[in-house]
Structure 1
Amino acid sequence: MAAIKRFFEKRKLDVKFKKAGGGHRLAEDSPQRKVPSDASSRPSTPRRQGPPETGQKAAEAALARIQSAQHGHPGGSTPAMRARIKREMEEEKKALEKAEAEGAASRSVQSEIVQDSAPVLSVIFYKCPEIGEAILPKSEMEAYIHEFLLNGLAEEPEMSSALMIQTLNKDREKVKVCIETLAKYIDNVINHPDEEKYRRIRVNNKAFQERVISLKGTEEFLQAVRFQLKTLPHEDHEEDFYVLEDEAASDIDRLKGIKEVLAMAEPIKPQLDRSIKVFHPSSSTTASKFNIPNEFYAISPEEIKKEQLRRNEAVEKLGMLRTKAMRERDEQRELRKYRFTLLRVRLPDGIILQGTFRALEKLSALLDFVRENLVNDWMPFLLSSSTGEKLLEEDLTLAELGLVPAAVVNFAWDPTVMAEVTAQQGASASSNILKPEVAALIQQF
Structure 2
Amino acid sequence: MAEKIKAFFQKKKSDTKFKMAGKGYKLTESSASSSKSNASDVPRPVKRAEPTTEAKVAGQAALARLESKRTDPKKFNTSYAAIQAQVKRELEAERKAAAEGTSKEEATPKERKIPQEVEANPLLAVRGVYFRCPIISDEVLTRDEWKIKIRQFLYEQLNHEEAGLTACLIIHSCNTGKEKIEQCVETICKYLENIVNNPEEEKYRKVRMSNRVFQDKVQPVEGALQLLEAAGFEQVKLMHQDEEEDFLVWRPNKSSIDHVQMLVDALRTADPVKIELDRNLQVLLPSQAAKRNELPPVFFTMTLEEIKKEQQLRSEAIAQSQILRTKAMREKEELREMKKYRYALIRVRYPDGIMLQGTFAVYERIESVIEFVKENLVSDEIPFILTTPFGYRLSDEDHDKSLIDLKLVPASILNFNWDTEILNAKGPTEYLKDDILCLIQSA
> TM-score per shorter chain, which class?
0.5 to 0.7
Match of 1:303 in 2: 306
Please state whether the residue corresponding to 1:112 is helix, strand or coil. coil
- AA matched with 1:369: F
**Mapped pair 1:172 → 2:178:** yes
5 Å matches for 1:232-251? 232-248=238-254, 251=256
Paired residue total: 339
Asked whether the equivalents of residues 123 and 291 of structure 2 are also in contact (C-alpha less than 8 Å), the reply is: no
Match of 1:194 among 187, 196, 200: 200
- Shift in CA distance, 254/387, structure 1 to aligned 2, threshold 3 Å: closer
The alpha-carbon deviation at position 110 of structure 1 amounts to: 3.2
Match of 2:410 in 1: 405
Please state whether the residue corresponding to 1:442 is helix, strand or coil. coil
CA distance in 2, matches of 1:409, 1:432: 18
- Shift in CA distance, 290/218, structure 1 to aligned 2, threshold 3 Å: same
Asked whether the equivalents of residues 379 and 417 of structure 1 are also in contact (C-alpha less than 8 Å), the reply is: no
CA distance in 1, matches of 2:273, 2:120: 29
**Mapped pair 1:291 → 2:294:** yes
Match of 2:122 in 1: 112
Asked whether the equivalents of residues 165 and 216 of structure 1 are also in contact (C-alpha less than 8 Å), the reply is: yes
**Mapped pair 1:273 → 2:293:** no
5 Å matches for 1:76-225? 110-114=120-124, 121-155=126-160, 156-225=162-231
CA distance in 2, matches of 1:390, 1:185: 57
User: Which string of whole-angstrom CA distances, capped at 9 and with x for unpartnered residues, describes residues 11-51 of structure 1?
Assistant: xxxxxxxxxxxxxxxxxxxxxxxxxxx9994899xxxxxxx
Match of 2:372 among 355, 369, 374: 369
Asked whether the equivalents of residues 166 and 267 of structure 1 are also in contact (C-alpha less than 8 Å), the reply is: yes
The alpha-carbon deviation at position 324 of structure 1 amounts to: 6.9
Match of 1:50 in 2: none
Match of 2:261 in 1: 256
**Mapped pair 1:394 → 2:404:** no
- Shift in CA distance, 168/253, structure 1 to aligned 2, threshold 3 Å: same
User: Which string of whole-angstrom CA distances, capped at 9 and with x for unpartnered residues, describes residues 177-225 of structure 1?
Assistant: 3323222212211222222210111112222233322222111111111
- AA matched with 2:186: E
- Shift in CA distance, 338/330, structure 1 to aligned 2, threshold 3 Å: same
- Shift in CA distance, 110/8, structure 1 to aligned 2, threshold 3 Å: farther
Please state whether the residue corresponding to 1:134 is helix, strand or coil. strand
Larger RCO of the pair (alpha carbons < 8 Å, separation 6+):
2
- AA matched with 1:385: T
- Shift in CA distance, 288/370, structure 1 to aligned 2, threshold 3 Å: farther
Please state whether the residue corresponding to 2:137 is helix, strand or coil. coil
Match of 2:438 among 430, 440, 443: 440
The alpha-carbon deviation at position 149 of structure 1 amounts to: 0.8
- Shift in CA distance, 308/265, structure 1 to aligned 2, threshold 3 Å: closer
- Shift in CA distance, 136/42, structure 1 to aligned 2, threshold 3 Å: farther
- AA matched with 1:337: K
Identity of counterpart residues, as a percentage?
37
**Mapped pair 1:338 → 2:344:** no
The alpha-carbon deviation at position 364 of structure 1 amounts to: 2.0
- AA matched with 1:198: Y
- Shift in CA distance, 418/397, structure 1 to aligned 2, threshold 3 Å: same
The alpha-carbon deviation at position 444 of structure 1 amounts to: 5.5
Asked whether the equivalents of residues 4 and 265 of structure 1 are also in contact (C-alpha less than 8 Å), the reply is: no
- AA matched with 1:398: L
The alpha-carbon deviation at position 322 of structure 1 amounts to: 4.1
RMSD: 3.2
Structure 1: gaps (5+ residues): 10-37, 45-106, 115-119, 423-428
Please state whether the residue corresponding to 2:317 is helix, strand or coil. helix
The alpha-carbon deviation at position 140 of structure 1 amounts to: 0.9
User: Which string of whole-angstrom CA distances, capped at 9 and with x for unpartnered residues, describes residues 218-275 of structure 1?
Assistant: 11111111211222211242322111124236x2232233333334432111111111
User: Which string of whole-angstrom CA distances, capped at 9 and with x for unpartnered residues, describes residues 66-91 of structure 1?
Assistant: xxxxxxxxxxxxxxxxxxxxxxxxxx
Please state whether the residue corresponding to 2:166 is helix, strand or coil. helix
Asked whether the equivalents of residues 171 and 181 of structure 2 are also in contact (C-alpha less than 8 Å), the reply is: yes
The alpha-carbon deviation at position 175 of structure 1 amounts to: 2.7
- AA matched with 1:365: S
- AA matched with 2:431: I
Match of 1:415 in 2: 420
Structure 2: gaps (5+ residues): 10-46, 56-116
- Shift in CA distance, 329/230, structure 1 to aligned 2, threshold 3 Å: farther
**Mapped pair 1:229 → 2:235:** yes
CA distance in 1, matches of 2:121, 2:399: 32
Asked whether the equivalents of residues 126 and 295 of structure 2 are also in contact (C-alpha less than 8 Å), the reply is: no
- AA matched with 2:316: E
CA distance in 1, matches of 2:419, 2:328: 39
Please state whether the residue corresponding to 2:424 is helix, strand or coil. helix
Match of 1:378 in 2: 381
